[in-house]
Structures are given as C-alpha cells and as structure tokens.
A and B are shown apart, each in its own frame.
Chain A
Amino acid sequence: MTMIRVENLKKSFGNLEVIKDMSTVVEEKEVICVIGPSGSGKSTFLRCLNRLEEITGGHVYIEGVDITDPKVDINKIRQDVGMVFQQFNLFPHKSVLENVILAPMKVKKSDRKASEKKAYELLDKVGLREKAKAYPGELSGGQKQRVAIARALAMDPKIMLFDEPTSALDPEMVGDVLDVMKQLAHEGMTMVVVTHEMGFAAEMGDRVLFIDGGYIVEENVPKELFGNPQHERTKAFLSKVL
C-alpha cells in the first residue's frame, strides 16, 4: 500500500524557491532516508509531508488523501503522521507522562486511564518509564528525544517523520535514539528520516533520497547510492561526508 505519494512538489519562501520539483512514493513499512547538503531543503521537504509548511505547488497524498486540498481536515491527517524534531520540542511545562498523554486525551478524547497505560508502555519501549514524573528540563538530550518519540507514537501514527533526530545530541546519546528508531523500523513502521547519520541510512534505509538544488537528484537503495552514485553532485556530497 502506498503511504505517501509526492507529485511535483514545489515550495517557495517568498522569492526563494527551495523545492523546485520533487516526486517520490513511500510504500507501507518502508524506511526512507533523506540526505543532502545543509540548506538544500530536507527539512522543508519533510515538513511539507504533514503540511507544517504550506505547499506552493504539486500534490502530497497521505494514504491516498491529497493534503494540498484546502478542504481536507489536516488535523485528522496529522494524527496518522508522527513527527520528531531536531530540537525535541517537548512541552516544558508538562511532565514526561503529560507530554505523552496530552494529544491522545485532547485530540482523540481517550480517557486518562487508557492514555496513561499506553504512555507507560511507550515509555518502557524507549527505556524511560522511571522518568514519567520528571520534567523535560531534568532530562538529557537523548532522553528528551526518546520521550519525543514516545509522544509521537502515542497517537498510533501510521507514518513517522524524523528531522535530524540525533543532530542536537552529544555523541554518546546518539546510539540510544538510533536503537529506538531501528526497533520501530523492525516493527514495520513507515518512516521518512532526514539524517546526517550515513551509517543509519546505509543500514536501515530501504531507499535513500539525495536532495540538492531543489530536486531529488538521486534515489536508490543504500548499497547503490553509497557504493555507486550516478550523479556528480551525489559523488561530491558523499566524498565530503563519508
């Protein structure tokens, strides 16, 4: 089943044309890694997938629904599309547990008991059950990011978007977060991951997209893209990061 279909996506900020023309398809249970130089529009591309950015042109279909259609209930769509940010964006005035149960309770109107039960299961999964009553300010970066993942999973999303989830972390914290993401991938979550972690992309990616200059320059299985890049710009980029 096709989870995400991007057709001739365009996105400009004023006169700045960040995404010129991008098309791709993400099937169920696929893990897609997005790489590219800084400022090439990776985050913008990802944020178009749940319309955090207003889309300038083209179409994005989530499970067949065109989210560029102004009549679409975007809040409904977003319940199925979890997102994890580079800067975590936990709610600092709420405890870890409250962070996780907020959306299920307010958006899905689940009752507190069921939401908490689910939240504890998810906190177990990311190894942070004992931090349920802590506040985000009391956590390390790696712990914050794992809470952020649990918070997104609490809505039972069908798709997870990750925007450089490990770039703001101290090196020794990166592994814990990547482990959680690997586990999610093994459980069959459909994932789009913007990352600088080429190791993760090579190991976990079903496909890797290389973005540059407003286009998806190259798109392939990791072995091919890393081992045998076809385009000059891909080669130049990889020679810098590998």
Chain B
Amino acid sequence: METIVNAFPYLMEGLQVTLYIFAIAIVFGFLIGLVVALFRLAPLKILNWIAKIFVDAIRGTPFIVQLFFIYFGLNSLAFISLDNTTAGIVTVAINAGAYFSEIIRAGIQSIDKGQTEAARSLGLNSTQNMRYIILPQAFRRMLPTITNQAIISLKDTSLLSVIGVADLTQEGRIQASATFDAFNVYLILGIIYFVIIYLLSMLASFVERKFVLR
C-alpha cells in the first residue's frame, strides 16, 4: 500500500508523457499512412515503389532497431540533432504509418468500383472522389483494424524507455528500484496500461456504433 502511495504520482507523470507521445505519434502516423497509401495506389509507378519500399523496410525490421537507427544513427550525422522524446515520437509515427498505410490501402480497395464510377460520372475529379466518397466509406470499414494498430503503437511507446524517455514504463522502472517493490510497481504499471487500452477500445467501438450503422 505504501509503495502504491509513493509511486503513484510518478507513474501518473509518466502516463502523461506516454499519452502525449502516443497522441502526437498516432496523428502523424495516420497522416503518413494516408499519404503512403495514396502513393501506393497512385497511377505513377515511381510513387508505388517508394511506398512499397518504405512499408517493406518498416515491416521487415524490429521496432527497437528503428528506434536506435533514428535516435543513435541519425543523431550521429552532423546536421541532425533529435532529443530522445522527439526521436521516440518520430519512430512511433513512422512505424505506425507503415502499418496504417496497408490498412488504409486495403480499406480503399474494398470499396466497390461502382462508387468511383458514379462519382466520376457526376464530374467529381479523383481528389473529390477520394475525399467525399471513398475515404469516408473506407474509414468506417477500417476502424477496427485502425484501433488494433493504435493499441500496438501505444504498447510500442513503452520501448522508448530504453533511450531514456521518461514515459510510463521508465517511471515504473525507476519506482521499482526506488521502492524495492518490483512486484507491486510492475503490477500497477500493467493495470494502468490495461485500463488505458481498454478505454481506447471502448472509444473506438462507440465511434464505430455511431457511424457504421449505415
């Protein structure tokens, strides 16, 4: 009990950092995913290739290696200097972006061709078709998979503790040694992650119910 009382404020600070990193990374990750998906589906071969190489590179390497590459690798170049939090956000965003792009691509391709034909026959250009017809329908279908990936990315943020980011996991590690009560601290740490992820899923299914009815 004492452990909990002592450690809890620090864990809450760590949680704030985790949520902050997650929120920024997931928004940028989504934008990256959208752009890469559109590249992947673009009529220009060169864009398809760029997108495919990017996705394969991210999917084919461990998250932690991507993190080290960006934090230690890129930082060793003279003209780049990233603090650990920024490097962490960038890595999570890029990593999530690659997976999001595959989800978004599949979502776009799952929409019946007739939708595009109807839109184009009305005079909509391809951008308007994407924006008003295809993406809104695709997103509804993609929501469950998007949520899944967001949860994975949230869990990935715990690896940022390795480069010293003061996130929830890092605070947990510090408190575990400070209180000499690793069992209870890590138990609480697990419960906090669980609750956050549970809330995230609840939010997602609420949004889904609201939109997917049609």
Contacts and interface: CB of A to CB of B under 8 A. Distances in A.
Interface of A: 50, 52, 75-76, 78-79, 81-83, 85, 87, 89-93, 102-103, 106-108, 135, 137, 148, 151-152, 155
B121 A82 contact: yes
Interface of B: 112, 114-115, 117-125, 128, 132-133, 136-137, 140, 214
Nearest to B126: A75
A78 B118 contact: no
Contacts of B137: 91-93
Which of A78, A106, A137, A151 has the most chain B CB atoms closer than 10 A to its own CB? A106
B163 to A, nearest CB: 43
B195 to A, nearest CB: 33
B133 A78 contact: no
Contact of B118 (A79, A91, A106): A91
A106 B127 CA distance: 11
Contacts of A92: 137, 214
Given A85-B114, A91-B133, A106-B128, A137 B214 contact: yes
A108 B123 CA distance: 9
B123 A103 contact: yes
Nearest to B211: A93
A92 B117 CA distance: 14
A107 B128 contact: yes
A98 B119 CA distance: 13
A19 B125 CA distance: 27
A155 B122 CA distance: 7
22 contacts: A50-B121, A52-B117, A78-B120, A78-B121, A78-B122, A78-B123, A81-B121, A83-B117, A83-B118, A83-B121, A87-B114, A89-B112, A89-B117, A90-B118, A91-B137, A93-B140, A93-B214, A106-B124, A106-B128, A107-B122, A148-B118, A155-B122
Given A79-B122, A107-B124, 14 more contacts: A78-B121, A79-B123, A81-B121, A83-B121, A85-B114, A91-B137, A93-B140, A103-B123, A106-B124, A106-B128, A108-B123, A137-B214, A152-B121, A152-B122
Contact of A135 (B117, B128, B136, B214): B214
